[in-house]
Structure 1
Amino acid sequence: MDHTSFLERWFRRVALSIIIVFFMFPIFWIVLMSFQTNETILRSPPSMSFTPTLDNYMAIIAGRLDSNVASMGIDFVNNLMNSIILSVCSVAVALVLGVPAAYAFARHKFRGSEDIAFTLLSFRFAPPLLVLLPLTLYFQEIGLADTYLGLVWVYQLICLPLILWIVRGYFEDISPDIEYAYRIAGHSWFSTFRKIALPLAGPGIAAAGLLAFIFAWNNFIFALVLASADKQPVTVGALAFVTASGIQYGQIAAAIVLSIAPTLALALWAQRYLVEGLSLGAVKG
C-alpha cells in the first residue's frame, strides 16, 4: 500500500512538472530572447548560450526602433501607460455598475431578469467587427472618437458581462439568512449590501476584476480603429516592431515582457483572493 502510494505521488509530481514546463517554457524563452540581439536569436541551431544585453529594453524606453536601414521612433512607454489607463478605468467602471447589478440579479427575481442578464452576456458573444462600424459612426457624431472616455466606455462593455455573471454566482452562494438576520436588526438594504454581501463576496469580486482586467488589457480591434497613435494600447503599439526592413525580435520580446509585467504583478497580488474565491464558489452557504 505504501509502495503504491509512493508511486502515485511520484507520478503526480512528474506529471505536474511536465505540465508546468510545457506551459512556462514559451514565457521563459521570450524572456531569454529579450536579452539577445537579432543576430543571436536568428542563429541556427538556436542555443541558450549567449551574452546578455539590455539594449532591447533601453531602445524601447528611449523610444527608438533600431533596424538595419534606419532608426525609427516608437512610443511604447506611452502605449503601456495607455493600456494601464484604459484597463484600470474600464474595470473600475464595470465593477461600479456590475457588482450592484449582480447582487440585484442574485437576490431579487423579477419578470424578465434572466432575459436582461442573458442580453448583457450576449455582448460577449457578438464579434467586435459586428459593432465596430456603428460605434465608429456614433462616436464621430457625439465627439467620443479618439478619446479616452470613448475607449473606456467600449472597454467596460467588454468587462461588464464578465463581472456581472461571475459575481452573481458568488452572491448566490452566500446564504440569504445572514442578510435577513442583519436586516431584522433594523439595517437598510444598502447597509446590508455594503457590510455583509460585499465582504463575503470580496474574493469573487477580486477574481472577476482580475479576469476583466486581462480581457481589457488584451483587447486589440477596438483600439486599432477607434484610437489614434497617441491613445493606442500596447496590443496595437506592438505593430510598430514589424517594419519593411525586418522584424525586431529582441525588442518584440522585451516589449512582451514589459506588457505582461502589470498583469502578472496584479495576478500575484490577487492570488490570495483568487484562492479564496474558488473556495467560496465550491461550498454552498
Structure 2
Amino acid sequence: MRRFLADTLFRLLLWGAAIIALFPVIWVVLTSIKPPELSQALPPVWDFAPTLQSYRDVLGGNTYTSQAFGTLLMHSLIVTVASTLLGLALGVPAAYALARFRFRGKRGTANWILSTIMFPPAVSVVPVFIFASKLGLTDTFPVLVVPYAAFNLPMVIWMLRSFIKQIPHEIEEAAMVDGASQGAVLRYIVLPLLMPGIVAASLLSAMLAWNEFLFALTLTRSAAKTAPVGISEFTNMYGTQWGSLTAAATVTVAPILLATLVLRRRLVEGLTFGAVK
C-alpha cells in the first residue's frame, strides 16, 4: 500500500509539473481559437465557442501585417530545408574524415570545430550584413541559408563523428576487401547505418534554423522574410493582435512538433546511439 501511494503521489507530481510546463502552450492555443473580441478580454473568458477566424485571417493575409503569414511559412520552409541539407552535405564527409582518417593536425582540427560551437552568432550579424550588402545578397534566401548551415555545422560534425565511431570498422574493411571504393563504402554501408544520427542531427538543425529570429530580422525585408519575423509584426502601432499572434505562433510551432512526433523513434535512436552495446 505504501509503495502504491508513493507511486501515485509521484505520478501526480509529474502530471502537475507537466501541466505547469505546458500551460503557456495551452494558453496560446486557447487564445488562438477564441473569437477576436474575446482574445483580449480581462479577466480571461473561458466559456466561449471555438472559432478558426484567427487562423483564416493570418493565413489569408487579413491582418495589419505587410504579408500573408502563409508566404512567410513557405520562406521558413525553404530556408530550413536548404540550410539543413547544406549542413548535412558538408557535415557527413567531415565527420567521416575525423572519425576514420589519420592526418596531421586531426586533434587540433576537431578541437577547433568544437570550440566554434561556443561562438555567439549575434556577434557576426553586423559583419554578415555588411558583406551581404556589398554582394547584393540582402533579402535573399542564400543570405540566411549559408549562415544557418555554418552555425549548425559544428554540432552536426560532432554528433555524426561520435555515431561513426560506434560503427565497427571491420564492416568497412570487409567491403573494401570485396572491391568497394571509399565512396561506395560511405554511400552503401556507412550512411544506412548512420541514418538515426542523421535524423537526430537534421531535426536539431532544422529547429535552430526554423526558430532563428535575429539574422532573419536584420538581413531580410520581404522577399525572404521568415515566420519568426512575421510573428513580431502582430505588435504594432495599432496594438497587439492577440488572436492573430497566437494563431501564427501555433502554426509556426506545429510543423516542428509534428516532425518530432513522427520521427521520435529515430530521434531517440540517434541521441542514444552507442550508449548501450
TM-score by length of 1: 0.89
Mapping 1:164-183, distance limit 5 Å: 164-183=157-176
Taking the aligned partners of 2:90 and 2:59, their CA distance within structure 1 comes to 36
Matched, 1:17 2:15: yes
2:172 partner letter: E
Report the counterpart of residue 236 of structure 2 in structure 1: 243
| C-alpha contact (below 8 Å) 1:173/1:283 kept by paired residues | no
Write out aligned runs for 1:1-285 (5 A): 3=1, 5-65=3-63, 73-284=66-277
Give the AA of the match of 2:71: N
Q: CA shift at 1:239, angstroms?
A: 1.9
Alpha-carbon contact 1:123-1:157 (below 8 Å) kept: no
Deviations 1:232-275 (A, max 9, x none): 10111112101112101111100011111211121122112112
How has the CA–CA distance of structure 1 residues 119 and 144 changed in structure 2, closer, same or farther, with 3 Å as cutoff? farther
Unaligned runs of 5+ in 2: none
Query: Structure 2 CA distance, aligned partners of 1:12 and 1:200?
Result: 39
CA contact (8 A) 2:35 2:49 kept: no
Deviation at 1:198, TM superposition (A): 1.3
2:217–2:229: 8 Å Cα contact kept in structure 1?
A: yes
Using the TM superposition, give the Cα deviation of residue 72 of structure 1 relative to its aligned residue in structure 2, in angstroms: 5.5
Residues of 1 paired with 2:276 and 2:178: CA distance?
27
The CA deviation at 1:39 is 4.0
Q: How many residues align?
A: 277
**3-state SS of paired residue (1:36):** coil
* Amino acid in the other structure paired with 2:208: F
Deviation at 1:167, TM superposition (A): 1.1
One-letter code aligned to 1:260: V
Cα deviations across residues 32-76 of structure 1 (Å, max 9, x unaligned)? 1101145423333324221212221111122122xxxxx564321
Whichever residue aligns with residue 106 of structure 1, its letter is: A
CA distance in 1, matches of 2:271, 2:214: 32
Query: Unpaired segments of 5 or more residues in structure 1?
Result: 66-70
Deviates more, 1:207-216 or 1:182-191: 182-191
Q: Percent identity?
A: 38
1:68 is matched with: none
The TM-score normalised by the length of structure 2 is 0.91
How far 1:140 moved relative to its partner?
Answer: 2.2
Query: Is the 2:60–2:69 contact (alpha carbons within 8 Å) kept by the matching residues of 1?
Result: no
- d(CA) in 1 for partners of 2:214, 2:184: 41
1:53 is paired with a residue whose SS is coil
Q: Is the 8 A contact 2:163 2:273 kept in 1?
A: yes
Structure-2 change in CA distance of 1:271 and 1:136 (3 Å): same
- 2:58 alignment partner AA: I
* CA positional deviation for 1:207: 0.6
CA contact (8 A) 2:199 2:266 kept: yes
Preserved contact between residue 139 and residue 225 of structure 2 (Cα < 8 Å): no
Residues 112-156 of structure 1 show CA distances to partners (whole Å, capped at 9, x for unaligned) of 223323333444322233212221222222332222122211111
Q: Which amino acid aligns with 2:227?
A: V
Counterpart-to-counterpart distance in 2, 1:46 and 1:150:
42
Q: Which whole-Å CA distance do the structure 1 matches of 2:102 and 2:2 have between them?
A: 52
Q: Do the aligned residues in 1 keep the contact of 2:94 with 2:157 (CA within 8 Å)? A: yes
Quote the Cα distance in structure 2 between the aligned partners of 1:5 and 1:279. Answer: 31
3-state secondary structure, aligned to 1:152: helix
